[in-house]
Amino acid sequence: MSEPVQHPTTAEAALPLELAAHALTDALPELLVESSRVAQTVIHGIHGRRKSGPGETFWQFRQFTDGDTRTQIDWRRSGASDHLFIREREWEAAHSVWFWPDVSPSMLFRSSLSPILKRDRALVLMFALGELLARGGERVGILGAMPPRIGRNMIERMALAVANWDKNGEAPSLPPADGPGRHNELILIGDFLEPLDLLGPRLEALGARGVNGHIVQIVDPAEETLPYAGRVEFEPLEAGARVIADRVEGLRDAYAEKFSAHRAAVRDLVQRFGWSFLVHHTDRPAEEALISLFARLSGADADYRQTSASDDAAISAQDANRTQPPRMEVVK
């Protein structure tokens, strides 16, 4: 007869979650400094509507047309021409921008190819972008953690909300299905490596609400290229059994193909309802992803890694050049 299974007590089961929560809290001060630095680096890219409307920032001159009033005429500009010109301002009406960062255990991965955890890079991007949007007059919120707010010191407000999100450390790996609706922006930042039968319905539920969505997939370069050799033991960061591969290099091609296929499926799904999809590798500067997100929010078309089906092969080829082996337990 087999020995009875000893199940952990509630206190024992909660201990790893409590330690994870403390680790996140301890990391926040350093992440705030990094977020402020990244925000200052791209401060000149502050978000704008790029259309005429109520506001104080000059946008463009246009010629006077029927329906315009005399009070709209810019007489100084018109005096230098044979035409009358209207001075238009950029529309600066605030709207709500919602974030959801994945801070689940799967985001605690970092190989030696990267200087930062996936979770920490996701938080840096969210804090920095939230600060810049708040400076531009936007309302910023976090799904499940903070209602939309406007004002100064947004980085500190968001950090406090994340620290209090779940004091037991039980951060979900999927965004909530009940998200914002039309006339809102939603930015989801995570690795999006969950099985498609779980991830797909959640994204479809959010897309059906009509929100303008943006996906930022955070990836450690080793997760794409599997740059290991020999007998390697892989330990799961979330639920699951450990895996031992005798010759891991023999799995590399099949693994890369499956990884690429999963990304393509997620990208195709969200692009069906008009969302953008960007890939950010943690060995690259955070400023790259931040500038690209600003381009999307302001209506520009140039994104540094908005992927299409033809781009995946190019991204994989670039990542294949990263040859430094990451830290991983090797079983002799």
Residues 242 and 99: their CA atoms lie apart, in Å, by 32
| Statement: residue 221 has pLDDT above 60 | yes
CA nearest neighbour of 235 among 243, 247, 227, 225: 243
Is residue 215 pLDDT above 60, yes or no?
yes
Tracing tokens 């991830």 back to the chain, one arrives at 199
What's the chain's Rg over C-alpha atoms? 24
Backbone angles phi, psi at 231, to 5 degrees: -90, 120
Kindly state the average pLDDT of the residues 232-252: 83
Give the start-to-end residue ranges of the domains of the chain. 10-48+93-320, 58-89
Beta bridge partners of 189: 101, 216
Per-residue confidence band for 305, with pLDDT thresholds at 50, 70 and 90: very low
How high is the pLDDT of residue 195? 93
Q: Is 120 helix (H, G, I), strand (E, B) or coil?
A: helix
CA distance 142 to 160: 11
Tell me the average pLDDT across 3-21: 41
| pLDDT score of 75 | 76
> Is residue 257 a contact partner of residue 285, using CB atoms and an 8 Å limit?
no
163 pLDDT tier (thresholds 50, 70, 90): confident
Question: Could you tell me which residue, 77 or 290, shows the higher pLDDT?
Answer: 290
Work out the pLDDT band at 84, boundaries 50, 70, 90.
Answer: confident
Sequence-separated (6 or more) residues with CB below 8 Å from residue 314: none
Closest by Cα among 97, 98, 99 to 49: 97
If you average pLDDT over every residue of the chain, what do you get? 75
Band of residue 309 on the pLDDT scale cut at 50, 70, 90? very low
What mean pLDDT comes out for the span 54-60? 50
CB 105 within 8 A of CB 237: yes
The number of angstroms, rounded, from the C-alpha of 307 to the middle of its chain's C-alpha atoms is 14
Cα–Cα distance measured from residue 291 to residue 216, given in angstroms and rounded to the nearest whole number: 12
Domain spanning 10-48+93-320: CATH 2.60.40 = no
Q: What is the average pLDDT across 111-139? A: 89
Cα gap 329→332, rounded to integer Å: 10
Helix 118-135 and helix 10-41, axial crossing angle in degrees, nearest 10: 50
Is 239 or 267 the better-scoring residue by pLDDT? Answer: 267
73/58 Cα distance (integer angstroms): 14
* 42 neighbors 297 (Cβ within 8 angstroms): no
